[in-house]
Chains A and B, each alone.
Chain A
Amino acid sequence: MPANRFNAFTDYGIGIGLRVPHYRHILEKKPVVDWFEIISENFMVDGGRPLEVLDRILEQYRVVQHGVSMYFGSADPLDRTHLKKLKTLVRRTKTPWLSDHLCWGSVDGTYTHDLLPMPYTFAAARRTAEKIRQVRDYVEVPICVENVSSYAEYHVSEMTEWEFLTEVVERADCGILLDVNNIYVSSKNHDFNPYDYVNGVPHHRVGQIHVAGHTKFEKYILDTHDHPVLDPVWKLYAHAIRLCGVTATLLEWDDKIPSFDEVHDEALKANQFIDGARAAGKSAASRAAVPAA
């Protein structure tokens, strides 16, 4: 199931986020990397160095766009200027799919620049799915929506987060960017079993997976992306790829960013779980091939 219509039938392997401190290393050393994920908004500009760097990266690497401010879940209508700039970038990068978050962050044109949690209601799911469809129809690439980490829940919620995610993606007929670190963080903050979450989403819609590090505080966990991936998150990742198949995987490391090699090595740890999932898949297949006595 690695290649599906939500990631444009690609098989992208393990990528890392393209970040400013690594530009020089990447451009000079040209390390072998399966793919880079870019933050779309950093390159939705009219000119200058960001686009020069991007074009040089595109000459050498496969790039997938990941957005942080489309805010599918905002009640506001879509921002046409934002959409136009996004489509211009999509044409430049030829990203096979596009991801952004299942969240909101703006209202009445005021932006919080945060990934705020949704109320898990049917009304919100309908509105969110409608906006995802609008974006997909406009930019003309498949869309995967990412579950966010959260620190608060609303009284008005009518379902679990994974039921809400399922409701949205089924209504929008879009993919899922399954962030297993976010699931883990939210499970600790809201006292649910992260495996129930992973088990509960439609696995055939998972087009990409995120892993990342987080920070534990006394009363909650914060999704800081400034550490290596912790063991419970890797275990959840292993579980996810057993269910979803080996899926394009990306390590996010956005703060206190170490050397390129350290980040890449951390990302490549995913291989041991991928190998395990592939072996499990093969042995299951060979068992299935043995005729019943």
Chain B
Amino acid sequence: MTRLPARQRSTRDLKSLQRLMTAALTRPLTSASRLQGRWTDGRPMRAVAASFIKPNDRLSSFERLEIYARCYWFRLLDCLYEDCPGLRAVLGEKKFARLAEAYLAKYPSRSFTLRNLPGRLEKFIREEPRLTAPHTALAIDVARFEWAQTVAFDGPSAPPLAPERLTTVNPARLRLGLQPHLSLLALDHPVDDFVIAVKKDGVLRADASNTPEAAPRAAKLRRVPLPKPGRVYVAVHRHDNRLYYKRLEPAAHRILCALGAGRTVTQSVGTVRGVAPEQIQAWFKSWTELGWLCARNGR
């Protein structure tokens, strides 16, 4: 880590200070929620803090820096606690806390909004399965399901397809888009029922705030038995700005995925066998009513 110039003369000097401060804040805390005693290069952390933070008659440089480090960790952990109740219920509080800290250490926020903070959690769980063992497969399913809720809550929407398009355009040439806020999930556990059971409250996210939190607040979760393995297909979406989860038949999931991949209606329907045409027509009617189908690329 480079040392800071005694005087700041340029934006580069400002950036050096901001890099040092950010590195100090985003470094994991000790188990007692304190700054670590040694810096990355082995120097005492107190000396590093004193090199750029002024002390006063009540607080050392180290203690002043620590206030910000604690606020950083508490705030971001609080956000993950709030957004991932299902994952907390799967892992238990201690294990979830270890996962969350390791996640933030590897993938600090890269977005101006905390809304996107859990966006790489599924990827991280796959990369570090030891942190969720022996429930890694379940944890991945829950992480996917919970992120799908965020997308459905405030993700973009496209104008729904006019119903007559399905009957007036040759299905062999018709390519449809899916609502951007719709997630189609093939899961190895029935986590939809599980997460609904875990959540006691509504689905509104809390405000972003400029207020530093004093401590992370993990609201107690309902104790719910972990779901047993079982393949389910789920659509997570919103309708009239309310969140919904809808179980899908495997064939319905396959057709929707094919549509989403850009295949024509005929090609998409052709990916399934042994389903009555009346059933497929009923699915398309239902998807149209739910507003899931829209023009491809906005056309």
Interface residues of A, Cβ cutoff 8 Å to B: 19-20, 23, 39, 41-42, 44-52, 68-69, 74-76, 79, 82, 101, 104, 106-116, 119, 121, 123-124, 127, 148, 151-156, 158, 189-191, 215, 219-220, 222-226, 252, 254-255
Q: Which of B5-23 contact A (CB under 8 A)?
A: 5-15, 17-19, 21-22
B8 and A123 within 8 A (CB)? yes
Q: Which of B221-266 contact A (CB under 8 A)?
A: 238, 241-242
B68 and A116 within 8 A (CB)? yes
Which among B14, B56, B108, B157 is the interface contact of A124 at CB below 8 angstroms? B14
A68 and B208 within 8 A (CB)? yes
A46 and B210 within 8 A (CB)? no
Min CB gap A233→B, angstroms: 15
A104 to B259, CA, bound (A): 44
Stretch of B39-47, B110-118, B167-175 on the interface side? B110-118
6 contacts between A and B (CB under 8 A): A47-B154, A47-B181, A79-B112, A106-B112, A110-B22, A225-B211
* Chain A residues in 8 Å Cβ range of B5: 156
Q: Which residue of B lies closest to A86 (CB)?
A: B112
Q: Which of B168-206 contact A (CB under 8 A)?
A: 180-181, 204-206
Which of B4, B68, B75, B208 has the most chain A CB within a 10 Å cutoff? B208
Q: Which residue of B lies closest to A108 (CB)?
A: B19
Q: Which residue of B lies closest to A124 (CB)?
A: B14
B241 and A107 within 8 A (CB)? no
B67 and A46 within 8 A (CB)? no
Q: Which residue of A lies closest to B153 (CB)?
A: A48
**Chain A CB within 8 A of B220 CB:** no
Which among B17, B65, B68 is the interface contact of A119 at CB below 8 angstroms? B17
A68 and B209 within 8 A (CB)? yes
A154 and B181 within 8 A (CB)? no
Min CB gap B219→A, angstroms: 14
A93 to B14, CA, bound (A): 34
Which among A107, A114, A124, A190 is the interface contact of B212 at CB below 8 angstroms? A114
* Chain B residues in 8 Å Cβ range of A121: 7-8, 14
